[in-house]
Amino acid sequence: MDGSGPLELSTAALKALAHPLRIELWELLREHGPATATQLSERTGHNTGVISYHLRQLAGSGLIENAEGRSPGRGKGRERWWRTVPGGFSFRPDLVDADAEPAAALLVDEMARRRAEELIAFQRRAPTLPEEWIDASLNSSYTLGMTAERLAEFTAEVRAVIERYASDEESPGAARVAVQFHAFPVDVDDDHSTRGTA
């Protein structure tokens, strides 16, 4: 990571990303680094023309960019190399325009499904993994009592820790590690009242 904050999705970018194949392409670039349309075609099973079209839509919305100059040889020759924009993306559900609500719902559902599949795949592979990786891994869930202000402090601290450890990505022996972080209220009503204990 380079410290860049997440891209706040505009309505146009939200609609552009809210497509299962585009989400898959964005995830592949995020997880595996820069790639060409041909490489992504091989990974997804779609032809290069379809992949190129969807990559252009993502690029036009600022979600990915040309990787030229990011690594020797990339971005040169016949095919472009693409990469995700550093920092990822985010959007405020409460600020989504009415006409973009279906796109927002699709994006949230698809990303949640992918995160769940990622965790399930790990649990199934766990018995075959080296013991040191199993001991170092964590899959836990907690329910805490917090005010909105304390939750904001908590999430900011966790983000800072993630940024600090991201600098280890190039260390010898480093593996890609999925860090899934969710923190949200479960008993706050639409009228902002809480159902927590007094």
DSSP readout, 25-93?
HHHHHHHH--B-HHHHHHHH---HHHHHHHHHHHHHTTSEEE-TTSSTTTT-SSS--EEEPTT-EE--G
Place of tokens 């009503």: 189
Q: What is the mean pLDDT of residues 134-142?
A: 95
Q: What is the pLDDT of residue 5?
A: 66
Q: Is the pLDDT of residue 107 over 60?
A: yes
Does the CA dihedral 99-52-43-122 come out positive or negative?
A: negative
Gap between the Cα atoms of 31 and 139, Å rounded = 20
In which band, very low, low, confident or very high, does the pLDDT at 92 lie, cut at 50, 70 and 90? confident
DSSP 8-state symbol, 194: B
The alpha-carbon radius of gyration of the chain (Å, integer) is: 19
Tokens of 33: 């680094």
- Using alpha carbons, select from 52, 43, 45 the residue that is nearest to residue 79: 52
Gap between the Cα atoms of 28 and 37, Å rounded = 12
Q: Is the pLDDT of residue 48 over 90?
A: yes
Residues of each domain in the chain carrying CATH 1.10.10.10: 7-137
* Average pLDDT over all residues of the chain: 87
- Pairing of β 64-66 and β 82-84: antiparallel
Q: What is the pLDDT of residue 75?
A: 47
Gap between the Cα atoms of 153 and 161, Å rounded = 13
Which residue type occupies 92? R
Q: What is the pLDDT of residue 71?
A: 47
Tokens of 122: 């790990």
Q: Is the pLDDT of residue 134 over 70?
A: yes
Q: What is the pLDDT of residue 198?
A: 42
Q: Is the pLDDT of residue 124 over 70?
A: yes
Q: What is the pLDDT of residue 195?
A: 60
CATH architecture, domain defined by 7-137: Orthogonal Bundle (1.10)
| Exposed / middle / buried, residue 54 (Cβ in 10 Å: 0-12, 13-18, 19+) | buried
Q: Is the pLDDT of residue 34 over 60?
A: yes
Higher pLDDT, 70 or 135: 135
